[in-house]
Structure 1
Amino acid sequence: MDVFEAIHRRRAVRRYSPDRVGREDIHTILDAANWAPSAMNRQQWEFLVVTGTKIREMGASYRAIIEEYTKNWDPSPLRGSLSREEFIRFAGSYGGAPAVIVVLTDASDNPDLYKANLESASAAMENLLLAATALGLGTCWMTGPLRDEKALREILTIPDDREIVAVTPLGYPEGTPNDQPRLDQGMERKIRWVE
């Protein structure tokens, strides 16, 4: 699959088969993430591959967040066809994915370095998502679990000198998620030519 096909096929997957993803495939995906561009070529990201009971612990934290967050649920078309109950179920088990990857970066008090670290680790996250898609695996870029960052840090023993950037389940999709419409499909409002 070429890069353009991977870009157009990537979807936020919220239901996964329980089939285990091989370590070789995970390593291939993380190698692609590791080749992302980074500010000053610092390559300061780190990847936690979470499996087993730790996913359940993470899910308990995320489920509590989503139960509170969705009390006034607005079934926006941008959320796809997920009902509140399905979203809560997804949160409690990360969609049943056999693995969850947490992307970390260096923490910094310097605003410029802080921003550069987040941007660099976000580029690594995008490479991760596209590599997984190319291998027929599903992902879902998530920042919602960070609403209870303290719990995530405790569950995964993440030290204070690391910033949590994003989380993604990783596994074989159960079904194919619907295409979500692109806002401004023709990009009339998103592109501005400057001469």
Structure 2
Amino acid sequence: MDLTELEELIKSRRSIRAWEDRDIPDELIRRALDIATYAPNAGNHQSWKFYVVKNRDVINKIADAVQRSADTIAAWPEAKEIGDTIERWNKISAFFRTAPCLIAACAGAYSSTADSLMRSRMEFDEQAKKMVKARDMASSRVQSVAAAIAYMLLAFHQMGLGAVWMTGPVQAQEEIEKILNIPDDLDFIALIPVGYPAETPRPKQMRQLDEVVEFIK
């Protein structure tokens, strides 16, 4: 694959939210996940784990959990001020119920030597406290899992599969972790529904490169 082919693969990938009622061979999922695990990650700690869910009852339980959390949010007094927007969001929160497969991406604990040093001083050192806050905002373990998900999505796209990267379901994190029996040393980070596409999304309108890139020489 030359750079032009890679560019086409990346630029043609779209988020897919409708799928055919058709099973995905396990070997395709395993291959995509194998590719995903070669993503760059903090300290090569590889503190990720992926749960592949094909059981329809379990998929429905996860969708129900996400819908309950969305219903709770939509019922808050503050949500009423948003009006139709929150109602539309609430109605589509569990759209992934129809996906033939869900992949729950989880992250384990990761603490570098620098992280440990900062945290040991943060109670009495204001500079260390600011450093910890900045590091938590740009969490190494979340960035690691995010890189793996990006690789996974490209692999699925090359295979003719369609997927979407969802962080919204994290609002139901506790329930989802119970449904999947995720151990205490892992945290549910994102949900990736995947299947054979039953839609063709319109091309994306991207911002001009000069709007998002600045060279400092």
TM range (shorter): 0.7 to 0.9
Q: Is the 8 A contact 1:15 1:95 kept in 2?
A: no
Counterpart of 1:156?
Answer: 180
Counterpart of 1:45?
Answer: 48
Matched, 1:190 2:212: yes
- Using the TM superposition, give the Cα deviation of residue 188 of structure 1 relative to its aligned residue in structure 2, in angstroms: 1.8
In structure 2, do the counterparts of structure 1 residues 17 and 91 end up closer, same or farther at CA, with 3 Å as the change threshold?
Answer: farther
Matched, 1:136 2:138: no
Matched, 1:19 2:22: yes
Counterpart of 2:84?
Answer: 73
Counterpart of 1:79?
Answer: none
Q: Is the 8 A contact 1:55 1:93 kept in 2?
A: no
Q: Residue type of the partner of 2:31?
A: T
Q: Is the 8 A contact 2:47 2:109 kept in 1?
A: no
- Using the TM superposition, give the Cα deviation of residue 63 of structure 1 relative to its aligned residue in structure 2, in angstroms: 2.0
Percent identity (aligned): 29
Cα-to-partner distance string for 1:143-185 (whole Å, 9 max, x where unaligned): 1111011111111111221022211101011021222322x2x
Counterpart of 2:68?
Answer: 64
Counterpart of 1:78?
Answer: none
Cα-to-partner distance string for 1:92-116 (whole Å, 9 max, x where unaligned): 3515111000111113575558811
Counterpart of 1:166?
Answer: 190
CA distance in 2, matches of 1:37, 1:23: 24
**How many residues matched?**
184
Unaligned runs of 5+ in 1: 76-82
Q: Residue type of the partner of 1:179?
A: P
TM-score (norm 1): 0.84
Counterpart of 1:80?
Answer: none
Counterpart of 2:94?
Answer: 92
Q: Residue type of the partner of 1:14?
A: R
CA distance in 2, matches of 1:5, 1:65: 38
- Using the TM superposition, give the Cα deviation of residue 67 of structure 1 relative to its aligned residue in structure 2, in angstroms: 4.1
Q: Residue type of the partner of 1:38?
A: N
CA distance in 2, matches of 1:65, 1:188: 39
Q: Is the 8 A contact 1:101 1:167 kept in 2?
A: yes
CA distance in 1, matches of 2:189, 2:155: 18
Matched, 1:180 2:191: no
Greater share of residues in helix: 2
Secondary structure in structure 2 of the residue aligned to 1:189? helix
* Larger Rg computed on CA atoms: 2
Q: Residue type of the partner of 2:84?
A: W
